[in-house]
Amino acid sequence: MKKLTAIIISALLLVSLGNTANSASSSGGNFSATQETLSSDNKADIKSDLTDLSRLMKAHNSDVAKIKSELSEAGKKEDADGMIKAFDKVKFSVIELTNQLKALTIKSQELQDIRMDIVTSNDIGIILLDFVKKNIELNKKGQSLSESEVQQMNSLQEKSVTLMKIYGEKLSKLNKEYNIQ
């Protein structure tokens, strides 16, 4: 059960960190926009993009806060099925946010770079959530992830946290500069 607790704590950390940034389909938007088609250092475009991104993130953070509470309760009760259900909700929420991010029409290169980092981090987070769910299922049978899976999971978590730190710092700086709450 110690391993399960460690995995839960790691997953909660991942969910929490994922929310330092912030149902649409992935159609529309300009996710694949090239640098040549985006503005650079255009204050109006940056502020508009920040406002749009902030709106998405706030809605996502609100959803995830509710799920974190469910996850915490399931963890306290050592309710593996409840944890799996909560992780499924987290995964759905992250996928939904990623789709919404891809559907945004971004005007500035500055926010395009941040959006790409958030989407990459979310993709890694989804893989990590799958590892966590697998580990919970294995723990129910008295088993655990293989050594290579644990190493892969740790490596992915490190990459995800690094990306979150990078885009979180960029977002914080821009939000402060443009007075976006």
Greater model confidence, 13 or 43: 43
% of the chain with per-residue pLDDT over 90: 75
Could you tell me the residue range of the domain that residue 109 belongs to? 2-10+42-177
Distance between CA atoms of residues 141 and 180, nearest Å: 48
Chain mean pLDDT for the chain: 87
Token pair of 14, please? 């991942």
What is the reported pLDDT for 35? 82
Greater model confidence, 26 or 7: 7
% of the chain with per-residue pLDDT over 70: 85
Instruction: Return the closest-CA partner of residue 114 out of 73, 62, 56.
Output: 56
The answer to whether residue 25 is domain-embedded is: no
The answer to whether residue 19 is domain-embedded is: no
The answer to whether residue 165 is domain-embedded is: yes
CB-based contact 105:49 (threshold 8 Å): no
What is the reported pLDDT for 2? 54
What is the reported pLDDT for 181? 82
Radius of gyration of the chain (CA): 18
How many domains does the chain fold into?
1
In this prediction, residues 68-87 reach a mean pLDDT of 92
CB-based contact 131:157 (threshold 8 Å): no
Instruction: Identify the three-state secondary structure at position 142.
Output: coil
The answer to whether residue 68 is domain-embedded is: yes
The answer to whether residue 15 is domain-embedded is: no
In this prediction, residues 85-107 reach a mean pLDDT of 95
